[in-house]
Amino acid sequence: MIYLNGNFMPMEEARIPVLDRGFIFGDGVYEVIPVYSRHPFRLEEHLSRLQHSLDGIRLDNPHSAGEWEERIRRLVELNEPEDQSVYLQITRGVAKRDHAFPKGIEPTVFMMSNPLVTPSRETLEKGVATISTADNRWLRCDIKATSLLPNVLLRQMAVDAGAAETILLRDGFLTEGAASNIFAVKNGILLAPPKDNLMLPGITYDVVIELAQSIGLPCEVRQVSENELFSASELLLTSSTKEVTPITSLDGKPVGNGKPGPVFEKLHAAYQTFKHSVMRRA
Ligand code: PMP
């Protein structure tokens, strides 16, 4: 079951006019919210990032936080299994094709839910391969925009190279992955690029930094140079669905000793404990 403009319906029955600006221009924003045991994780933070994205494209939020929560919970109830990944997107709506904002139209609001697939035991034990390349995206990567063509092309580069993710560098510094945030470990310190216009402010990124602080793991939020990226003892990838995933190779060379390292093990354990404690309280 999906949600479209106020109604819940089977996916097959959902219809969007071809002049929707999401289809024509990619003129919209989205969110992906992980749901554990039917409880949306960090919902407030996802909704506030959604507001930031809407502000970034100058589109009014069609719903209050309470209305979003009610609709998301209903969608989760209507779907299986217990752990889901809720995708929501808002586009500027349907209008005759013209770049400038149309007046007096309603936005299109769409939500769907898929089973949440988190990293397998094998992935957590072996880690994933990555490649690196220049970040050729625009300068508003903090907006979670549906126009993802650069990210699509960048991620496909990884797939073509038999890797799981493409790590992006801009002007000699790490930004993020094509669809994830990236952390490096150097001299036992967790290094995180600062949240600015060059990366998406990940909800998982924030959780990981909070967890590092709570377990006494040294962490620095600052620019991470190309050199630090390539000489890191560990690299980690984070996202709402990938949670905390160890990266064990970069451009065909092992990261550290080529195995998931101690910082990953600590953060992964902390993440799982935290997730379950939040769900129990919910
Ligand atoms: N950066 C990009 C470009 C992303 O697409 C994502 C989400 N897939 C992330 C970072 C991670 O964000 P979050 O932890 O909120 O899922």
Q: Which CATH number do you get for residue 201? A: 3.20.10.10
Q: Is the CB of 166 under 6 A from ligand 1?
A: no
From 239, 242, 274, 275, mutation site for ligand 1 pocket: most ligand atoms within 8 A of C-beta: 239
Ligand 1 atom nearest to 200, measured from its CA? 1
Res 156: pLDDT: 98
Res 146: pLDDT: 98
Q: Is the CB of 179 under 6 A from ligand 1?
A: yes
Please check whether residues 269 and 204 belong to one and the same domain. yes
Q: Coil, strand or helix: which one is 12?
A: helix
Res 278: pLDDT: 84
Ligand 1 atom nearest to 34, measured from its CA? 16
Give every CB contact of residue 68 below 8 A, 6+ residues apart in sequence. Answer: 47, 50, 88
Q: Which one of 115, 136, 155 terminates a domain?
A: 115
Catalogue the active-site residues. 144
Q: What is the pTM of this model?
A: 0.97
Query: Domain range holding 241?
Result: 121-281
Mean per-residue pLDDT pooled into runs of 10, the chain (282 residues): 98 98 98 97 98 98 98 98 97 98 97 98 98 98 98 98 98 98 98 98 98 98 98 98 98 98 98 90 79
Q: Is the CB of 201 under 6 A from ligand 1?
A: no
Res 280: pLDDT: 82
Q: Which one of 61, 86, 115 terminates a domain?
A: 115
The CA-atom distances, in angstroms, between 281 and each of 28, 135, 195, 208 are 34, 40, 29, 20
Q: What token pair was written down for 39?
A: 């409880």
Total Cβ atoms within 10 A of residue 240: 22
Please check whether residues 161 and 272 belong to one and the same domain. yes
Res 264: pLDDT: 98
Q: What token pair was written down for 260?
A: 């998931």
From 180, 204, 243, 267, mutation site for ligand 1 pocket: most ligand atoms within 8 A of C-beta: 180
* Distance from C-alpha of 99 to C-alpha of 101, rounded to nearest angstrom: 7
Give every CB contact of residue 252 below 8 A, 6+ residues apart in sequence. Answer: 129
Res 282: pLDDT: 77
Give every CB contact of residue 72 below 8 A, 6+ residues apart in sequence. Answer: 33, 40, 43, 86, 88, 111
Write the pLDDT tens digit of every residue in 218-264. Answer: 999 999 999 999 999 999 999 999 999 999 999 999 999 999 999 99
